[in-house]
């Protein structure tokens, strides 16, 4: 069995636009400031997608879904992640699992962790786990200017 690993990273800044909705791992966090982005700015789904694409040697999310393309304006990133998983399978790889580390001072992820894992796992068709980490006040994330996410994916040749 040929196993490959991929790494994904993404970061989005908080928006001051009160109409932006915060979506993390396909789950809406009511009452929280949204993130700036061409799509719904789901930083967790984006990091997962990049990890999977990297594992399959398929480049990155920007190549597959250019932010200059109006088709992806306001896009549901869970839909993009579902499409990425299909492209990974189309390239002959089966996703094994994806593990994410979300770095943010807010919101608290724990109450929505199960819901995020469920939505992400459904999109990928394999287990996706989510961990929350504080930045301990350090740097831009620590100043609550945005949210970052690291992800690692494993795929095997199918
Ligand atoms: Mg992104």
Q: Which of 93, 104, 10, 21 is nearest to 55 (CA)?
A: 93
Q: Which domain holds residue 134?
A: 3-157
Rounded distance from Cα 1 to ligand 1 centre (Å)? 32
CA–centroid distance, 94 to ligand 1, in Å, is 23
- Gap from CA of 66 to ligand 1 centroid (Å): 11
Query: Separation of 149 CA from ligand 1 center, angstroms?
Result: 9
Rounded Cα distance between 54 and 43, Å, is 16
> Over the stretch 7-57, which tens digit does the pLDDT of each residue have?
999 999 999 999 999 999 999 999 999 999 988 999 999 999 999 999 999
Give residue 1's pLDDT.
Answer: 67
- Where residue 41 sits, what CATH number does that domain have? 3.30.1330.50
Contact 42, 78 (CB under 8 A): yes
- pTM summary value: 0.96
37 Cα: distance to centroid of ligand 1 (angstroms): 7
Pure H helices in the chain: 43-55, 61-64, 77-90, 113-124, 139-142
Q: pLDDT digits over 55-109, tens only?
A: 999 999 999 988 788 877 778 999 999 999 999 999 999 999 999 999 999 999 9
Mean pLDDT of 104-120: 97
* Overall number of domains in the chain: 1
């Amino acid at each position: 069995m040929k196993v490959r690993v991929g790494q994904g990273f993404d970061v989005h800044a908080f928006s001051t636009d009160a109409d932006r909705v915060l979506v993390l791992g396909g789950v809406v966090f009511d009452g929280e400031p949204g993130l700036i982005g061409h799509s719904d700015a789901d930083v967790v789904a984006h990091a997962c997608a990049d990890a999977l694409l990297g594992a399959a040697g398929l480049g990155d999310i920007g190549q597959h879904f250019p932010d200059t393309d109006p088709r992806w304006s306001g896009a549901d990133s869970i839909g993009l992640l579902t499409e990425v998983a299909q492209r990974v399978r189309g390239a002959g790889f089966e996703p094994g699992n994806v593990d994410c580390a979300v770095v943010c001072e807010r919101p608290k992820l724990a109450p929505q962790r199960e819901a995020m894992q469920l939505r992400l796992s459904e999109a990928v068709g394999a287990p996706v786990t989510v961990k929350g980490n504080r930045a301990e006040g350090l740097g831009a994330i620590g100043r609550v200017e945005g949210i970052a996410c690291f992800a690692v994916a494993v795929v095997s040749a199918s």
